[in-house]
Amino acid sequence: MNTTQLTGLIQTITNLVERRAAPSEITPSLVTLHDLVERLGQAMAEIQEENAKLKSRLNQPQQPTADPKATDTCKYCHQLSGVVTRIEPDPVWKEFGGEIHHYKCSNPKCGQVYERSTKE
């Protein structure tokens, strides 16, 4: 569906009215017009929804803390964007419950991997 279809239909209705066509002749075109406008409205709603999605995606790089799994402040970019990827016992402190937490930074501008000891 496009606007050419719509303006063509309006022209058809205008012609029918101008030559004083019977209402029964005009009605089918008006029904089609109603249907076209309804579909245009739906298409516009879909475009608005898509547009809102794209806008929020564009805004994401300014929100490096967006990853809900991030629990650590990255050693490199200092944002709350470090996500735990692996946990292993700290070879030095394992008797005391020490662990090494491996992180991957979820900040798209950083993305570094690093580790921290819980006994640090």
**Cα angle, residue 52 at apex, residues 48 and 58 outer, rounded to 5°:** 140
Tell me which residue of 50, 43, 84, 53 sits closest to 67, measured CA to CA.
84
Sign of the CA dihedral running 13, 16, 17, 18? positive
Rounded to 5 degrees, φ, ψ at 98 are -70, 140
Instruction: By CB under 5 A, name the one of 6, 80, 83, 110 that touches Zn ion.
Output: 110
Q: Point out which span in 27-35, 42-50, 85-93, 97-105 binds Zn ion (CB under 5 A).
A: 97-105
Which residue among 16, 67, 70, 74 contacts Zn ion (CB under 5 A)? Answer: 74
Part of the chain binding Zn ion (CB under 5 A), chosen from 24-32, 55-63, 69-77, 92-100: 69-77
> Stretches 15-23, 52-60, 87-95, 99-107: which one binds Zn ion (CB under 5 A)?
99-107
Q: Is 23 helix (H, G, I), strand (E, B) or coil?
A: helix
Binding site for Zn ion (CB under 5 A): 74, 76-77, 105, 107, 110
